Amino acid sequence: MNDVDLNLVPALDALLAEASVTGAARRLGLSPSAMSRTLARLRAVTGDALLVRAGNTLVLTPRALAMREPVHALAREARALLGPREQELDLATLRRDFVVRANEGFVALFAARLVAAAARQAPGVRLRFVARSRKDATPLRDGEVDLDIGVLGTSAPELRMRALFRDRFVGVVRTGHALLTADLTPARYAAGRHVVASRKTGFEGPVDRALAELGLRRDVAAIVPGFPDALRIARETELIAQVPASLVRADLPSAAAFAQGLEVFELPVSLPPIVVSAMWHPRLDAEAAHRWLRETFLQVCRDALEAPSR
C-alpha cells in the first residue's frame, strides 16, 4: 500500500459521480486545473482513461462505470470510520457522577434547579459541586473536575469555553445606611468602608481600578472568601459590599434570602460586564454525556435569568 495514495479516493468518487472535471472540482473545493492534474494521476494509477470526450461532454469508460458504486461505498465508509462518531446517549439509564467546580454564589442560585433538571432527564446522574478556590486549569487537565463555572482567569489555551450568562456588579448596604441618604458620587462611595470578596492574597479589582482613574481609593476593612459572606457582613455592619447583580435579584426566589435587609444601588463608576462561563477540557468535547451536561447548565441558567430584574 506504500505506492497507493488514499487521498485519491474522494477525488475519484467525485469524478465518477459528476462525470465532469469542473463539477468534481466544485464538489471538493478545488480549482479545475488542480482536478485535471488529479485526473491525470488517477489515469496513471488505474491504467484507464476513466473519463473520455464524447462531443462537448465527458463520459465514463466501462472500467469507470464498474468502479463507481464500489468507490462511492469506499469513500462513504472511510468518512464514517475517520469522521466524528455520534454517540448514542440513553439518559434514562445513564449512571454518572459529574464534578462541577463553582463558587458559593453560583451554587446558591442555580444548584437546586440544576439538580432538579438532571433528575428529570437522567435520574442516575449525580452532581457534585466543589469550591472554586482557584482559577487554574489543573483540575480540568487532571480529570478531577468535569466542568468549571466562573469568570475566566489564568487558564490554558486548550480549554473549551461557553458563556452561560452576563452579569454586572452592584453595590449593597444594609437598609437605612447613610450612604444612600444623599447623591452617590464616586468620592462618597470611596470614602465609605468596604467588605470585598476575594480569594487572592492581595486584592485590586475592577472597582479599585476605576476609582484609581479618578484619583480615589476605597478603604477595604474586610476581605472574605465569597459574595454571600460579604452580604452577611454588609447586612449587620456599616460596610459596603460589591456583588454580582444576579445574587440580589428580587425576582429570583433563590436570591431572595440574600437580598433581605439590604438595599441595592448602582455603582458610581463604570465597570466591564461579568461573563460567567462553563469551561471544560477538550478530551470531553465530543462525549455525548458531557455535551448533555453543558447544554443542561446553559438552559437552566438562561431559564432562571430570563425574567427581567426589578
Distance CA 68, CA 60 (A): 9
Q: Is the pTM of this model over 0.75?
A: no
Band of the pLDDT at 77, cuts 50, 70, 90? confident
Residue 179: pLDDT over 80:
yes
Band of the pLDDT at 4, cuts 50, 70, 90? low
Asked whether 271 and 81 are in contact (CB, 8 A), the reply is no
Distance CA 287, CA 88 (A): 10
The predicted model gives 168-191 an average pLDDT of 95
**Arithmetic mean of pLDDT over the chain:** 88
Asked whether 242 and 172 are in contact (CB, 8 A), the reply is yes
Asked whether 221 and 145 are in contact (CB, 8 A), the reply is no
Q: What is the pLDDT of residue 310?
A: 41
Counting residues of the chain whose pLDDT is more than 70, the rounded percentage is 92
The predicted model gives 111-128 an average pLDDT of 96
- Higher-pLDDT residue of 153, 148: 148
Band of the pLDDT at 96, cuts 50, 70, 90? very high
Give DSSP secondary structure letters for 237-305.
Answer: SS-EEEEEGGGG-TT-HHHHHHHTTEEEE--SS--PPEEEEEEE-GGGTT-HHHHHHHHHHHHHHHHHH
With cell 446517549, the residue in question is: 89
Distance CA 245, CA 279 (A): 22
Residue 82: pLDDT over 80:
no
The predicted model gives 238-265 an average pLDDT of 88
Residue 2: pLDDT over 70:
no
Q: Which residues are CB-contacts of 89 (< 8 A; sequence separation ≥ 6)?
A: 288, 289, 292
Distance CA 229, CA 105 (A): 10
Q: What is the pLDDT of residue 80?
A: 65
CA nearest to 110, candidates 260, 232, 254 = 254
> Which amino acid appears at position 286 of this protein?
A
